[in-house]
Structures are given as C-alpha cells and as structure tokens.
Structure 1
C-alpha cells in the first residue's frame, strides 16, 4: 500500500501545483522556461503513474475488503464511465458543445470515473486510489473554475458536428476499453463477472 500512496502523492502532487501554488508555478516557468517545466512535469508524472500501477497491482494481491458492492453497482459504474469517456473526449475534440457547457470536461470525467469505481469496488486499495483521484478532481475543478472567473475566460460555442464527434470518439474509446483493454491492461473484464 505504501508504493500506491507514494505514487498518488507524486502523481497528484505534480498535478496539484496549479491548485496550491499557481504563483510559484508561473515564477518557476519564467525562470527555467516552458520546455524544462514540461520535461520535469512529465518525468515526475510518469514516475508517479508507474508507482500507482505497481502499488495498486501489489495491493490487489492481498486485498483488504471493506464492503461487498451490490452487483447492480457494476451496471451503474458502466454507465458513469461511459459518460466519463465522452467528457474526456470532449476535452480534446474542438468546437463541441459539451466543453462549451461544462468548461472543464476532463476533470468532470475524472470525477465520474473515480466515483464509478468507488461504487463498484470495495477494497481498501480501491478506496485509496479512486478516493484520491475523486478528491483531487473536485479540488482541481474548483480551482480551474476560479481561474476562469478571474480571467473572464469565455468558453466559446460548440457545433453539432464537434459535439457529435466528441460523443462518437468517447463512446468508441469506452467500448474498446470496457470490452477489451480493461481486461488486457487491468486484468478485470468489467462485463465478464
């Protein structure tokens, strides 16, 4: 469990700099340059991610059950993760109405993804992993919305084509992950249990 927690501290810590020290971040980028900042950010993020994957894998070998979720929660989790994949796609597909309406769809997608996994899983490692991501996404979304208000950032509009593309890409990515990649990468087939 210690490796999982260390990975979360490193990964989410790096991703929390704008939440807790935006001024320091800006000053550091000005001092060392954008390229050096992005390089250090990427290396630390990757190290944290590797520690999370390794630590969660180790924790799954000796699980500490906290509760047994009802089978229905798997179905609820599937629907929530479908929505989270659409939101993730909306963060990158240009000119879509989902991003225009939500402002920060990736963070909302992470919230849904984490919440869905908390509903469907009941071990200590699950609570630590998905609870940490849920808490981080809530704080980061709040901070991002505050930055938007201060900057007076307009969200822009979306087009039907952009919105449709975000939905198609999100649903396609969700289907690939739910029916194939989740089992291949995580070792759990969501619809096979």
Structure 2
C-alpha cells in the first residue's frame, strides 16, 4: 500500500506543480530550456506512473473491501465511461462544441473516470486511487477557472462541429474495445463481470 500512496503523491504532485508552485515551471524552463523541461517532466511523469501502476497492482492483492457496491453500479460506471471517453477524445481534437462547452474536457474525463470507478469498486486500494484522481480533477478545475478569470489562460476557440462527431465515434470505439477485452487485458477485470 505504501508504494501506491507514494506513486499517487508523486504522479498527482507532478501534475499539480503549476497549482502548488506557480513559478517552479518557469524557473525550470529558464534553467533547463523549454525542451529540457518537457523531457524532465515527461520522464518524471512516466516513472511516477509506473510506480503508481506497480503500487496499485501490489496493493490490490493485500487490501480489503471498504464497501460492497451494488451490482447495478457497474452498469452506471460502464455508461459513465462512455461519456468520459468521448470527453477524452474531444480533448485531443480541435475544438468542437463538446470541448468548448466543457472548457477542459480532459480534466472532466478524468473526473468522470474516477467517479465511475468509485461507484463500482469498493476495495481500499481502488477507493484510494480513484478518490485521489477525483480530488486532483476538482483541484485542477478550480485552478484552471482562477487562471481563466485572471487572464492567464485562454480557452480553445470553436473550430467545427465535425470534431464532436469524431469525438463521439472515437469514444464509442474506445469504449467498445475496453468492454470487449482491453480492460480485462490491461487491468485483469472485465467491466461487465458481475
């Protein structure tokens, strides 16, 4: 469990640097250069993600249940994951209505992903992981709103509604693949298992 907690702190801490230490990023860019900072940030993110995944795998084997979610919660989680994957796809494409209206579709996607998994998983390790990611999403969204109001952040302008269609199609395909076999292959659990 300790490795999971360390992995969560490191991974989410790295992704909250701009929130908790606003000048740190700029000072690192000044000393390492933009490319140097991106490389260092990417390596730190990857290593902390690997630690988080490994720690979660280890913790899953030894932690007990905090609560037993009803079976129907799994169906709600699967449905919410479709929305999360559509938002994720919208965040990676030029802005359509989904990206413009949600403002930060990737952050929203992570929050929906975390919430859906909290609804369907009652193991201590799962609750810790998904609650941490949900809290991260809420903190980051509040920070982004403040940066928008301060004029530090400009939102992506609307490009075309066709990107909404692409986001829905990509989200549906990714969702179908996850349900079909990918989630079970990656995580070891079928999302439709009851």
TM-score by length of 2: 0.95
Unpaired runs of 5+ residues, structure 2, are none
Unpaired runs of 5+ residues, structure 1, are none
Give the whole-Å Cα distance in 2 for the aligned partners of 1:191 and 1:124: 21
**1:99-138 alignment runs, 5 A limit:** 99-138=99-138
CA RMSD of aligned residues (A): 1.3
Structure 1 counterpart of 2:81: 81
Structure 2 counterpart of 1:29: 29
Do structure 1's residue 51 and structure 2's residue 47 form an aligned pair? no
**1:145-160 alignment runs, 5 A limit:** 145-151=145-151, 153-160=154-161
Deviation above 4 Å: which 4+ runs of structure 1?
none
1:135-168 alpha-carbon deviations (Å, 9 max, x no partner): 0011011111221222262441242211101111
1:182, distance to aligned residue in structure 2 (A):
0.5
Contact preservation (8 Å) 1:179, 1:191: no
Structure 2 counterpart of 1:178: 179
1:36, distance to aligned residue in structure 2 (A):
1.1
Give the whole-Å Cα distance in 1 for the aligned partners of 2:176 and 2:117: 17
